[in-house]
């Protein structure tokens, strides 16, 4: 379920514009009344906007560092690679989510750089130490009360009574996008000499088959690298503060098999918001 109160608190934390860190800073005042809330934070540094799906994959990548069983959770220890967001995102006990996105300038590696940040508040909070992250079995074989497997067989559980609400949300989003495009075409330049320069929007980029952003005519910023052949996942990892220390030491087999890790269960609900 998308919960607006969770999204509101997530957006407030994203708007704090905290500098990125190797282990991202989490909001300590995110609980709602008696509901204990978990949080996932992802940051990407660079001038090129990154799709939300790729930012969610940052938490999925943390699973590379989890070397324990799924039926007995061991929290990350001090000094070890962090995988707390991975565990929270995939914990089967969470069924409510709300997210916020921000772009801002912050200090990183000795200079001011552009940062894109995604914050998702997830409830209930979990998993606790020694708990199972999820129940082994076929996808969507143990859906929550009043939920059922998705008819398209994508491995997700859905609540039938919320289907119409989802359709209405998509219709509203389509209308908003249509109005925004019409306004963009008819917008006139300001008469004053000053022009506000906003951060580039994701809509200014086209994405190819490999998920890499290609600039449109309105935006010419691109990801660059000195390497002749770079794994697409490595290109993203180099921009992630929490992964900055790992790319040089990443085993090749992990990079090649990164796509085999579980796809995040939050992607469907994120599309409705962003």
Quick one: average pLDDT of 73-94?
Answer: 88
Q: Mean of the pLDDT values across residues 239-267?
A: 51
pLDDT tens per residue, range 161-195:
665 665 666 567 667 777 776 766 665 555 544 33
Q: What string of DSSP letters covers 171-229?
A: HHHHHHHHHHHHHHHHPPPPSSS----PPPPGGGEEE-TTS-EEE-TT-------S-SS
Q: What is the pLDDT of residue 253?
A: 46
Q: Determine the pLDDT at residue 218.
A: 40
Stronger pLDDT, 152 or 263, i.e. the higher one: 152
Domains of the chain: 1-138+224-274 (3.40.33.10)
- Residue 137 — pLDDT band, cuts 50, 70, 90? confident
**pLDDT reported for residue 237:** 62
Does the predicted model carry a pTM greater than 0.75?
no
Residue-level pLDDT at 84:
94
What distance in Å separates the CA atoms of residue 87 and residue 133, rounded to the nearest whole number? 7
């Amino acid at each position: 379920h998308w919960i607006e109160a969770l999204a509101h608190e997530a957006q407030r934390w994203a708007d704090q514009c905290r500098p990125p860190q190797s282990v991202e800073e989490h909001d300590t005042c995110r609980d709602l009344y008696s509901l204990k809330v978990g949080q996932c934070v992802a940051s990407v540094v660079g001038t090129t906007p990154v799709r939300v799906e790729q930012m969610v994959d940052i938490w999925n990548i943390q699973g590379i560092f989890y070397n324990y069983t799924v039926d007995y959770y061991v929290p990350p220890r001090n000094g070890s690679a962090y995988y707390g967001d991975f565990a929270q995102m995939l914990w089967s006990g969470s069924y409510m989510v709300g997210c916020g996105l921000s772009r801002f300038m912050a200090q990183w590696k000795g200079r001011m750089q552009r940062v894109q940040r995604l914050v998702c508040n997830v409830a209930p909070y979990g998993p606790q130490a020694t708990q199972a992250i999820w129940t082994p079995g076929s996808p969507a074989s143990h859906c929550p009360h009043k939920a059922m497997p998705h008819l398209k067989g994508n491995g997700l559980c859905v609540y039938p009574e919320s289907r119409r609400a989802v359709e209405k949300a998509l219709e509203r989003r389509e209308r908003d996008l249509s109005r925004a495009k019409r306004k963009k075409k008819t917008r006139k330049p300001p008469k004053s000499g000053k022009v506000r320069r906003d951060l580039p929007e994701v809509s200014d980029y086209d994405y190819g088959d490999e998920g890499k952003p290609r600039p449109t005519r309105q935006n010419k910023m691109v990801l660059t690298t000195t390497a002749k052949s770079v794994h697409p996942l490595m290109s993203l990892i180099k921009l992630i503060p929490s992964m900055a220390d790992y790319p040089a030491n990443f085993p090749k087999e992990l990079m090649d098999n990164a796509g085999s890790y579980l796809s995040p269960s939050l992607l469907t609900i994120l599309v409705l918001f962003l």
